[in-house]
């Protein structure tokens, strides 16, 4: 049986030491699968991703990447280990061009310009709409195009595991469909492991392999996606 790529064990996390949003949370993300975390607003879904990437220090528990604790590893070193984070709000550099933003994502290649060029070109293949805008200031782009730049820059580092928070927030249905198709392709073709937080329950269930439902910062249900096709059951959250 495969070992999880990422595992949260008995994790308690909060923005204050005496007030935990997550309480004894257990989550596993298996290789090449899309694991989705569902639940009402405020139950700690995004908090789990922030803790996994190192933006929040857990008050208890452990986080493992390929069986190794990463609690004391800063976010930039997690990227070198193959873990990447796509936040809900695009964190692009709005005063830089599209291509400059993408190139920044290749910092892990340590000055290998040829490899950076290849990865930039791969992103233009993935997001054809960006090719003609490569010299355009990113802040002038639409929200959907900025999301493409954000995702493309993240993929520049060749991650093995993606933490994805609300990837289609604020996007049109057409652009959202493209993002979900891309995530599916990354998991199925490129064998990336994805841990997805999403409010778009129907879409999340269409692409997920395994589902966790949280309530008040705790595990409430978990199981293969086929057990959660009934949206009422998937959203038994009070």
Residues 181-220: pLDDT tens digits?
A: 989 999 999 899 999 999 888 889 999 999 999 999 999 9
- The answer to whether position 231 is within a domain reads yes
- Distance (Å, whole) CA 129 – CA 125: 9
- Distance (Å, whole) CA 197 – CA 199: 7
Q: Give the three-class secondary structure for 238.
A: coil
Alpha helices in 54-104 (DSSP H): 75-80, 98-104
- Distance (Å, whole) CA 6 – CA 66: 6
- The answer to whether position 177 is within a domain reads no
The contacts of residue 223 (CB under 8 Å, 6+ apart) are 210, 211
Give me the mean pLDDT over the 164-184 stretch: 88
* pLDDT band per the 50, 70, 90 thresholds, residue 223: very high
Angle at 214 between CA 211 and CA 218, to 5 degrees: 125
- Distance (Å, whole) CA 135 – CA 188: 32
Q: Are residues 57 and 109 in the same domain?
A: no
Q: Are residues 95 and 137 in the same domain?
A: yes
- Distance (Å, whole) CA 165 – CA 155: 15
* Mean predicted lDDT score pLDDT of the chain: 91
Q: What is the pLDDT of residue 90?
A: 73
The contacts of residue 2 (CB under 8 Å, 6+ apart) are 30, 31
pLDDT in tens, 62-88: 999 999 999 999 999 999 999 999 998
* pLDDT band per the 50, 70, 90 thresholds, residue 178: confident
pLDDT in tens, 107-161: 888 778 999 999 999 999 988 989 999 999 999 998 888 988 999 999 999 999 9
Tell me: pLDDT of 237 over 50: no
Q: Are residues 25 and 76 in the same domain?
A: yes
Q: What is the number of domains present in the chain?
A: 2
Q: What is the pLDDT of residue 174?
A: 85
Which range of residues forms the domain containing residue 210?
1-82+160-167+193-238
Query: Which CATH number belongs to the domain containing residue 20 in this structure?
Result: 3.40.50.300
* pTM, two decimal places: 0.90
């Amino acid at each position: 049986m495969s070992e999880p790529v990422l595992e949260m064990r008995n994790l308690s996390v909060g923005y204050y030491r005496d007030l935990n949003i997550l309480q004894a949370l257990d989550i596993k993300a298996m290789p090449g699968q899309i694991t989705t975390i569902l639940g009402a607003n405020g139950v700690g879904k995004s908090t789990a991703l922030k803790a996994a990437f190192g933006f929040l220090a857990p008050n208890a528990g452990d986080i493992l990447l390929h069986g190794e604790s990463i609690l004391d590893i800063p976010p930039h070193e997690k990227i070198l280990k193959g873990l990447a984070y796509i936040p809900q709000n695009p964190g692009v550099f709005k005063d830089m061009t599209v291509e400059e933003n993408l190139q920044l994502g290749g910092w892990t290649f340590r000055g290998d310009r040829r490899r950076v060029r290849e990865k930039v070109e791969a992103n233009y293949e993935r997001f054809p709409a960006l090719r003609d805008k490569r010299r355009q200031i990113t802040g002038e782009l639409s929200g959907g195009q900025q999301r493409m730049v954000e995702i493309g820059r993240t993929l520049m580092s060749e991650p093995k595991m993606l933490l994805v928070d609300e990837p289609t927030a604020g996007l049109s249905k057409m652009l959202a469909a493209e993002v979900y198709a891309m995530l599916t392709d990354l998991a199925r073709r490129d064998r990336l492991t994805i841990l997805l937080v999403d409010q778009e329950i129907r879409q999340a269930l269409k692409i997920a392999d395994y589902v966790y439902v949280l309530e008040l910062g705790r595990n409430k249900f978990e199981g293969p996606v086929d057990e959660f096709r009934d949206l009422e059951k998937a959203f038994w959250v009070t």
